[in-house]
Amino acid sequence: MHPVLDDLITLLKLERIEENIFRGDSRDIGSAQVFGGQVLGQALSAAQHTVEGRVAHSLHAYFLRRGDMKAPIVYEVDRARDGGSFSNRRVVAIQHGRPIFNFVASFQNPEPGLDHQSAMPDVPGPGELKDFSDVSPDDLSKLPQKMRRFLANKRPFDLRPVEPVNLLEPERRAPVKHAWIKTVDTLPDNHALHQNLLAYISDYELLGTSTLPHGLPFGRGKVIMASLDHALWFHREVKIDQWLLYAMDSPNASGARGFARGQLFTEDGKLVASTAQEGLVRVIEKERPTRSDPRLQV
């Protein structure tokens, strides 16, 4: 398996400390704090360790504090309910003695039922598109160091935007975007693992959709963004090592917050998951803030 993907899988497995307590490490992917998708994937993994024979169908989470990439994260699982068909788990992620993240997930015994879905958007396929990190050397040299490192680092996912991306001088456009996503290598046939990785990747790109009508120059460090909450619903079986179209839109931005929704489709048009997220979107008009600047606080 590709070593970067293998490292991510190891990161999501967690270490069991006690019956309902788990510990995970972090990876620096170039963000200002622990990547939210990592905490989502690890929290789901912690909850899955306490459930047998049932599959996650939804999760809802709040990001409370910035995660420290240099310290482990402890996940405490509350086995809230095991009913006849559904199980519910509450998870708190803790660092330095304080909660940084709250999470609730629901699990269900698989069963048949009514079946309909939204149609997949008509967009070019992944074979016609370039990877997100395919940036010219001239443009790359003009980006902040953290963003250059993020683009240069080998990643566990292949991400191919449908709409052109201009990190330096973005144009104002409708708050809608699409991207094809899959892992860089094949995975074991493990449903829980594919769900964990989808939870991880569901935090990529989503909140940025709310900035598209405003043409904000991310490459110049003028925008502070942080996830506040995140929801994910699994509709059908997920295979994250096969191409998925992530279709995103943002119906609203106000009060220094952006709201965005997403749907994930297989190449043959099956809707496998839906997402929703609200996050901080704070514009810095003048100098770039230092890490101690109160504008960076969520």
Q: What is the set of active-site residues?
A: 203, 227, 277
Q: Are 277 and 207 in contact (CB under 8 A)?
A: yes
Q: Is 144 left (phi over 0), alpha (psi -120 to 50) or beta?
A: beta
Q: What are the backbone dihedrals phi and psi of residue 268, each rounded to the nearest 5 degrees, phi first?
A: -90, 10
Gap between the Cα atoms of 69 and 32, Å rounded: 9
Dihedral (CA of 118, 123, 129, 133) sign: negative
